[in-house]
Amino acid sequence: MRGPVDVLLTLAARTTSHSSTLTPDQLSSSINSANLNATSAPFYPSPWMNGQGEWSAAYAKAKDFVSQLTLLEKVNLTTGVGWEGEQCVGQAGSIPRLGLRSMCMQDAPVGVRSTDYNSVFSSGQTVAATFDRGLFYARGHAMGAEHKAKGVTVQLGPVAGPLGRAPEGGRNWEGFSPDPYLTGVAIAETIKGTQDAGVIACAKHYIGNEQEHFRQVPEAIGYGYDIDEALSSNIDDVTMHELYLWPFADAVRAGLGSIMCSYNQVNNSYACQNSKLLNNLLKDELGFQGFVMSDWQAQHTGAASAVAGLDMSMPGDTLFNSGISYWGANLTLAVLNGTVPEYRLDDMALRIMSAYFKVGLTLDEPPINFDSWTLDTYGPLHASVGSNVQQVNWHVDVRGDHGALIRNIGARATVLLKNVNNTLPLSRPKFVAVIGEDAGPNLQGPNGCADRGCDDGTLGMAWGSGSANFPYLVTPDSALQAQALADGTRYESILDNYATPQIKALVSQTDATTIVFVNADSGEGFVNVDGNEGDRQNLTLWHSGDELVKNVSKLCSNTIVVIHSTGPTILTGWHDSPNITAILWAGVPGQESGNSITDILYGKVNPAARTPFTWGPTRESYGTDILYTPNNGRDAPQDNFSEGVFIDYRNFDRQNITPIYEFGYGLSYTTFSYSNLTITNAHAGHYTPTTGMTEQASTFGNHSTNLNDYLFPKNLTRIEQYIYPYLSSTDGRAASHDPSYGQPASKFLPDNAISDSPQPKLAASGAPGGNPQLWDVMYTVTATITNTGARNGEEVPQLYISLGGPNDPKHILRGFERLSIDTGKTATFTADLLRRDLSNWDPVKQDWAITSYPKTVYVGSSSRNLPLARTLE
């Protein structure tokens, strides 16, 4: 199964035929059977970049630079130095001759990982709830600036995979939302912010990385599963385009410099050697000009992954600390003996250097000033082998004034789900009782658990490589107590969920306003917290949170519930209790948690956030779940995405299930009315598929073919386990440790894999992001929003569209804006509908097309409150 060649059969296509009469259930069973034995079509050769559009200046610089490189230097750019080989979580080889220091790859999604004096931002999922483009950008920029100031070259985020297919998905919090449009906007703005700050963003994990279970074989074996191959996410062509690929297209269009291919297989071909995903969809159709790096240990082949479109091997060794690499010396050999064409290596180097120059990085970047493997000032430069002890940490404070931004995002991301009788905002209450571990500190300190792999104290961050060290963590208890003291409020908190007698005695006292803090955590698969191997085992609150809420609300008629979580929890059984007067979702807010929630509870910020996922009444109501048990013997577990595009609210709408709180829902302390829907036709004209041929592939520079010139230099001291581009022998077979060495590429690489001839252009291609006409404005929609309440506030009007086909969701999000509107005032909501917003993917034409089904535009305040509607002409 771990063969170099993508399997040859094509996954049976699901059509968007206009005459289709399939019911949703028939449709889903047809997709399901199509997915059995799913295969991934081969697509070769790997497209060579050409510096199109806004890449041209960076491309010119890169071409000049790469033309000066030796073959060894090019290989050095493409291959990491090995796990814990240098200071960052991943580092590529350097080119000292030309002043290029080793590139530093570092996690990322909430702040610079494994260092000190960095900020901790809200999670991606939390900021998504703001529905605020400005905050997406500001957060990306601030995080980018911190990475830059630490010496990071590539910030390993943001995340659009997982998208959030299953609510239990362990890493959903690192991404934004199961809605691809919202995620697309959020990832694009984040990338622009990050790259404007001078570091390369890395969109991850590409693609179908929707669960932690079985993503990697060694990890799964560690949990006792007996499998030989990683999970295959089986995704049909329409679902791929309309759902999972959608935000990555936005990312590429935003100028994305790098992308990380994921651990899992897609249609039974590993994502990091899947030519359909990398060559066809990403580099050809989406015109991606940056570089593809592997997730850590997600590479499984050498030549095969090179021709399938991988550009950088991370962390460089085959398995952590194996001391050998699929690339490094093997890539040197593969190019010298013609297995991997020289143009492919040149293209890898060009892509890496173009991204580098595009974000403004130079050949004299300051050194990396931190070390991922120790916070000590002095330590081994090569932690893998403990050698070269020297100064590795400079403890540079990179936080700037980001605390204020983080506090603001935390407040603006807090979703007010319930608020009866104007319970909130609080105004100098007589007596506040705060209940729950989630209000307080982790007694072992905010960073007490490695990679935040525990759920102790308030949930300011979830676990895994997406974590970072807190510089401080303002707990809800401390911030609310400070507020209470300032107000003269009596304040008592009980931070133990199981102190039942004390809790009962406190919350049943007269005049108690009780705020119960509860949470649900999840994270990355390499850490198991309380039996949750990354993915959540269920959708209930942790530490008996549901019982806590029920117990408190039985005794206190003014119970306010605050949930910190990495996704929805099941609120059935208590959310509608009359004693529960308010419910808030505060996500995973980062270091300013307590201040942010205080700002909302006391009305210093009027809430306007919207839930970026649906709160269903039962776990089953989502229609999707994690595959928790291998279902294919020792072979790759098969995860059929048979629901197609129907995840989250699209499923609830299709199945007619009433959610507790629907996608896009959130209250304010004021009220708004919607009126006056207008739609203006921009007369964009017809769509022209892209045609023609690409240029022939080029190579840059000459190289010797004498293997003697590639031997390990005599004057260099070899560091154990470190990955080098040099050969150990002039005998290729000995140098490669490959018994089959010397076979012609045609023996084991697919047809066309090493062709350098001009290739036909794809209809849906043409510029970064895809055919540029997909971004033509076709209609402009406006609506009038009036603040009809007594407070100034913010409102998030949302535009949904029904594409009208029998296989389409009832309606899908296609526009939103966060507007600030003072009491009594009106504002105009404006959204452009682009061609892509109105199109379906046509798997027969292999292009986007607007079907002839009638299309209806809706505007309102959530996915289920859409007072304005009009059919498009």
How far apart are CB 200 and ligand NOJ at their closest, in Å?
13
How far apart are CB 258 and ligand NOJ at their closest, in Å?
11
How far apart are CB 155 and ligand NOJ at their closest, in Å?
10
Quick check: 552 binds ligand NOJ (CB under 6 A)?
Answer: no
Nearer to ligand NOJ, 126 or 559 (CB): 126
Quick check: 811 binds ligand NOJ (CB under 6 A)?
Answer: no
**Catalytic residue, candidates 237, 250, 295, 347:** 295
How far apart are CB 476 and ligand NOJ at their closest, in Å?
29
- How far apart, in whole angstroms, are the C-alpha atoms of residue 214 and residue 789? 51
Nearer to ligand NOJ, 315 or 768 (CB): 315
Nearer to ligand NOJ, 204 or 650 (CB): 204
Dmax (CA) for the chain in angstroms is 88
Residue 600 structure tokens? 């909302």
How far apart are CB 192 and ligand NOJ at their closest, in Å?
21
- How far apart, in whole angstroms, are the C-alpha atoms of residue 446 and residue 461? 10
Nearer to ligand NOJ, 89 or 468 (CB): 89
Pairing of strands 490-494, 291-294: unpaired
Judged by CB under 6 A, the residue of 38, 100, 135, 156 near ligand NOJ is 156
- Other beta carbons within 10 angstroms of residue 92's beta carbon come to 28
CB 634 within 8 A of CB 225: no
Looking from the CA of 566 toward its CB, the CA atoms found within 13 Å total 33
- How far apart, in whole angstroms, are the C-alpha atoms of residue 459 and residue 436? 12
Looking from the CA of 51 toward its CB, the CA atoms found within 13 Å total 16
Nearer to ligand NOJ, 242 or 295 (CB): 295
Compute the 3-state secondary structure of the chain and give helix, strand, coil in percent, each to the nearest 5.
Answer: 25, 20, 55
Pairing of strands 580-585, 415-419: antiparallel
Quick check: 147 binds ligand NOJ (CB under 6 A)?
Answer: no
Q: Looking at the chain, how many residues does it have?
A: 873
Question: What is the three-class DSSP state of 148?
Answer: helix
H-type alpha helices, 668-714: none
Pairing of strands 856-860, 378-382: unpaired
End-to-end CA distance of the chain: 51
Is 295 a catalytic site residue? Answer: yes
Quick check: 639 binds ligand NOJ (CB under 6 A)?
Answer: no
Residue written as tokens 């401390």?
A: 478
How far apart are CB 141 and ligand NOJ at their closest, in Å?
20
- Cα four-point dihedral sign 74, 79, 84, 89: positive
Pairing of strands 812-816, 798-802: antiparallel
Q: How many residues bind ligand NOJ (CB under 6 A)?
A: 8
Quick check: 89 binds ligand NOJ (CB under 6 A)?
Answer: yes
CB 809 within 8 A of CB 646: yes
How far apart are CB 162 and ligand NOJ at their closest, in Å?
11
Selection from 315, 241, 228, 234 nearest residue 269 by Cα: 234
CB 416 within 8 A of CB 667: yes
Selection from 485, 474, 486, 460 nearest residue 594 by Cα: 474
Quick check: 295 binds ligand NOJ (CB under 6 A)?
Answer: yes
How far apart are CB 205 and ligand NOJ at their closest, in Å?
6
- How far apart, in whole angstroms, are the C-alpha atoms of residue 71 and residue 709? 10
How far apart are CB 295 and ligand NOJ at their closest, in Å?
5
- Other beta carbons within 10 angstroms of residue 577's beta carbon come to 15
Nearer to ligand NOJ, 89 or 850 (CB): 89
Question: What is the three-class DSSP state of 11?
Answer: coil
CB 98 within 8 A of CB 363: yes
Nearer to ligand NOJ, 107 or 521 (CB): 107
Query: Using CB atoms within 10 A of its CB, is residue 757 exposed (0-12), middle (13-18) or buried (19+)?
Result: exposed
Separation in Å, CA 771 to CA 13, 245, 276, 631, 834: 22, 14, 18, 39, 12
Instruction: Please give the angle made by the CA atoms of 843, 845 and 850, to the nearest 5 degrees.
Output: 85
CB 478 within 8 A of CB 597: no
Judged by CB under 6 A, the residue of 86, 107, 438, 842 near ligand NOJ is 107
Nearer to ligand NOJ, 321 or 509 (CB): 321
Site string for ligand NOJ, 663-692 (x = CB under 6 A): ------------------------------
Selection from 302, 278, 322, 370 nearest residue 78 by Cα: 302
- How far apart, in whole angstroms, are the C-alpha atoms of residue 679 and residue 250? 24
Using CB under 6 A, which residues numbered 441 to 470 contact ligand NOJ?
465
Nearer to ligand NOJ, 49 or 154 (CB): 154
- Other beta carbons within 10 angstroms of residue 542's beta carbon come to 24
Nearer to ligand NOJ, 108 or 583 (CB): 108
Radius of gyration, alpha carbons of the chain? 27
How far apart are CB 215 and ligand NOJ at their closest, in Å?
8
Cα 851 from chain centroid?
Answer: 30
Nearer to ligand NOJ, 156 or 571 (CB): 156
Quick check: 296 binds ligand NOJ (CB under 6 A)?
Answer: yes
Using CB under 6 A, which residues numbered 557 to 586 contact ligand NOJ?
none
Question: Closest residue to ligand NOJ, Cβ-based?
Answer: 465
Using CB under 6 A, which residues numbered 167 to 226 contact ligand NOJ?
204-205
How far apart are CB 156 and ligand NOJ at their closest, in Å?
4
CB 544 within 8 A of CB 503: no
Nearer to ligand NOJ, 212 or 455 (CB): 212
How far apart are CB 106 and ligand NOJ at their closest, in Å?
8
Selection from 342, 343, 310, 350 nearest residue 327 by Cα: 310
Nearer to ligand NOJ, 105 or 601 (CB): 105
How far apart are CB 653 and ligand NOJ at their closest, in Å?
32
CB 75 within 8 A of CB 348: no
Residues in the site for ligand NOJ, rule: CB under 6 A? 89, 107, 156, 204-205, 295-296, 465
Q: Which residues are catalytic?
A: 295
